[in-house]
């Protein structure tokens, strides 16, 4: 596993974003691990988060895109910090995001940030594995602005769970929209790295929690 992936996993634990226990997902599944990206709350954390996104983007798509797009609301700080991180690495790209409600005065419109034109390659940045809802909502907005091309979708963690069918949610998006989808880390990488590892004097993922995670993966897991 690449060092930046290991560092990101530990960063999520330290930030309290990744926790283990008993939780209920939005879909109603009882899960032994939970990822709450709303717990990122400082400038320092956002700066590091952007750098992790930049590493994943560079590894997966290189520089084959023009604009980062962040679906409102959680995607907004993500595209800002990722674009800053990429600029520091010598790749200065635009970013844009959508308003929840189109503005009918001033410059108007539903999009804010970099202008889109025909052929602009747009890379969508989100937080955790998506079911494709935000893409279905925002793709018409992007294509209303111009005949853009989708360069892909990147999320922070791929939970590798079945979506509406046998595929994972990310794989469903890839199949439906014909775009590459990838994550900074997968849940399998998280479990592999944290098993038995001690943080601040405590083992975050002990054998009992690891077994519960494997049981959950066996029940709901999906291959790409």
Q: Quote the tokens at residue 70.
A: 């962040």
User: What is the structure's pLDDT at 84?
Assistant: 98
- Contact at 8 Å (CB) between 131 and 169? yes
Say whether pTM exceeds 0.85.
Answer: yes
DSSP strand E in 10-141: where? 18-24, 30-35, 67-70, 94-103, 109-113, 121-125
Cα gap 96→139, rounded to integer Å: 13
Cα gap 128→35, rounded to integer Å: 8
Q: What is the 3-state secondary structure (H, E, C) of 130-197?
A: CCCHHHHHHHHHHHHHCCCEEEEEEEEEECCEECCCCCEHHHHHHHHHCCCEEEEEEHHHHHHHHECC
By C-alpha distance, which of 215, 209, 131 is closest to 171? 131
- Provide the residue ranges of all domains of the chain, joining segments of one domain with +: 3-220
Residue 100: active-site member? no
Strand-pair partners of 203: 198
User: What is the structure's pLDDT at 130?
Assistant: 60
- Give the number of C-alpha atoms closer than 13 A to the C-alpha of residue 25, restricted to the C-beta side: 18
User: What is the structure's pLDDT at 36?
Assistant: 92
DSSP 84-110: HHHHHTT---EEEEEEEEEE-STT-EE
Residue 175: active-site member? no
Q: Which CATH architecture has domain 3-220?
A: 3-Layer(aba) Sandwich (3.40)
Cα gap 124→88, rounded to integer Å: 20
Query: At 207, is the secondary structure helix, strand, or coil?
Result: helix
Catalytic choice (30, 103, 175, 193) = 103
User: What is the structure's pLDDT at 223?
Assistant: 65
Low-confidence ranges of the chain (pLDDT < 50): 105-106
User: What is the structure's pLDDT at 128?
Assistant: 86
User: What is the structure's pLDDT at 107?
Assistant: 55
Catalytic choice (5, 26, 30, 105) = 105
What does each C-alpha distance from 215 to 109, 186, 190, 201, 221 come to in angstroms? Answer: 47, 17, 15, 26, 9
- Contact at 8 Å (CB) between 194 and 72? no
């Amino acid at each position: 596993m690449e060092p930046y992936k290991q560092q990101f996993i530990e960063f999520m634990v330290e930030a309290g974003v990744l926790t283990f226990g008993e939780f209920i997902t939005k879909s109603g599944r009882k899960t032994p691990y939970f990822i709450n990206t709303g717990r990122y709350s400082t400038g320092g954390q956002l700066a590091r988060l952007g750098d992790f996104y930049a590493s994943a983007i560079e590894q997966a798509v290189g520089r084959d895109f023009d604009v980062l797009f962040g679906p409102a609301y959680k995607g907004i700080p993500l595209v800002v910090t990722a674009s800053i991180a990429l600029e520091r690495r010598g790749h200065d790209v635009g970013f844009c995001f959508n308003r929840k409600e189109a503005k009918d005065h001033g410059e108007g419109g539903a999009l804010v940030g970099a202008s889109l034109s025909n052929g602009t390659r747009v890379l969508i940045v989100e937080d955790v594995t998506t079911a494709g809802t935000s893409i279905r909502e925002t793709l018409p907005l992007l294509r209303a602005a111009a005949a853009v091309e989708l360069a892909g979708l990147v999320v922070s963690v791929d939970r590798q769970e079945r979506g509406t069918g046998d595929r994972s949610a990310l794989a469903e998006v890839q199949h439906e929209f014909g775009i590459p989808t990838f994550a900074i880390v997968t849940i399998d990488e998280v479990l592999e790295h944290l098993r038995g590892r001690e943080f601040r004097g405590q083992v975050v993922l002990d054998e009992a929690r690891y077994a519960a995670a494997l049981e959950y993966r066996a029940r709901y897991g999906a291959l790409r």
